[in-house]
Amino acid sequence: ASVIRRHASKWPKPVWHAPWKLYRVVSGHMGWVRSVAFDPSNSWFVTGSADRTIKVWDLASGRLKLTLTGHIEQVTGLAV
């Protein structure tokens, strides 16, 4: 089997800038965050994780309000 070499593109690669800025990082889960849902009033949001917990966060401050435990599998979906 032969390998075909790929030629570099002759077009210039565009400079891409993210249309958002990182405002805050909230940390608290021990596993990957699998789902996020926001309260319709935009006062809090919830995250579900592979660590089998759901965490409720204050949107304005980013502080943890509540942790729900006892799930037997990772949390892959949330709805508010």
pLDDT in tens, 23-53: 888 999 999 999 999 999 999 999 999 999 9
pLDDT band at 22 (very low <50, low <70, confident <90, very high): confident
pTM: 0.73
Contacts (Cβ under 8 Å, ≥6 apart) of 38: 44, 45, 59, 80
The CA dihedral of 71, 74, 76, 78, to the nearest 10 degrees, is 30
pLDDT at 9 over 80: no
